[in-house]
Structure 1
């Protein structure tokens, strides 16, 4: 596989970044974007998250999130269609059906824990609102995202990438424009959780894709605009929100931006999104992009327990909250 891939370095010159500029009429065939297409808005993230808090009935999701009923119906249908939820009968009476996470849905748990860990680290003053307990080692823990092959923290500045010859695909039709139902930086829902704080800054499809461009070495307004085909007013608004949220800082002249330490730290959730899509949305397919260590060996992100260093699976984690709904 490695012989058919073009290696690139995050810190390298533009000539060594064949992934940097999207050819005209093409787009990235990106597994990360496949996950974003499903979870590309805050409500979808939060509805899926409530399932990890044991929400099952329509009324559970509605009451816990204060989400409009029509929006909830659409979101639940979307998650069922994506294979993340399945409808099953509740109780012996079999009069009602509930929404349950599938194996595919349960495997999104690392993504949610990585967003929670980011919010705890950068956005939550004082004690985190949620404490996690790992049943396997009987310890309280913090989520950590590492490379499965060497145990080192996932950091885009310390890895290279490789892209396949078929990485560029014909550009698809632009998605229908969706108006954001909340203000940038506004926390939605009712649970004062660090996931919500994180999503208040990055919780829409365009923001995720803009951040992805920074990890591909694009830092200028015109580069991002050309690569994504995004409307200039939307791009300007999202960049402004990322600066206000502390994830970007503006460079000289105001047309270039740079990731802050907080911004670089968001590579871990995005890497986990890619790994999830490669496993569940592209089974049996050679990845179009691969993370590499300095020796050119493939790397796979994994979320682990800080106490024992083993994976923290959804069924093996318990929690207590420092808040009440």
Structure 2
């Protein structure tokens, strides 16, 4: 069975909607709402159509397509500049130490401070793989093909790149972090607030969230335990990000307390190590180094797994990968080892 990554199109709406219903909540970038998904796709199509290369407020939606059936089985997103339509809020976890000479003791307290430090950065997000396809490295293909897109369109992205990981969600679909902190100020449950944010944006956070630092010692034990902890289903994604040179620097999601992973764009492993070569030969499948390859720009961008071999003047790729992307000898590809 063969898969490829391609630019999302308006006719992918129903596929994305069906996948959105499978996320289980806490997945702001893929809401189970057709109007919101339509708006995302419309914005993405306009971004792919924009023919100037400066860093702007774009959204690129990509999909994972089964080449044999045409079915969409996964999706991912790239936001080139966050915090433009409305402020982009995070909590920053920090420590305040104070010393009492009379007691001869030093006390350290952790605090959460509402910040907009990440405004202007680019975000990799919205990655979701259909539960029926969670094997064979398709999640890695979805995730890492985005870095090949960034490499090919570097001027459209900021110098910092981040990814928000979903935080701890309980069996009832609630968030211990939300219930212990923000929920006390908003009078609504996590699912309702998260859905409202996905549909309308988070300006209501600016309107209602207290702006002063919050001492974590004042939160419930379950809320404190959730700070900076990914959802169990997101631990593999966190390891993948760490392998790409992302790190957790104390920023957490304001809704579920999940960790925000940050990297310098040019230091991301798959951006830094991506190569561009001409195809000089087509070989039998299985010959060479298994890699992720890409071709095309903007709405013509595609990516898939391939077997790459070194050759004079370029590289060889296997016949299956060439067929998946419609490649021939003489075409240029970007590639990174799997």
Q: Shorter-normalised TM-score: what interval?
A: under 0.3
Q: Which has the higher contact order (CA 8 A, sep 6+)?
A: 1
Give the structure with higher Rg (CA): 2
Identify the structure with the greater strand proportion. Answer: 2
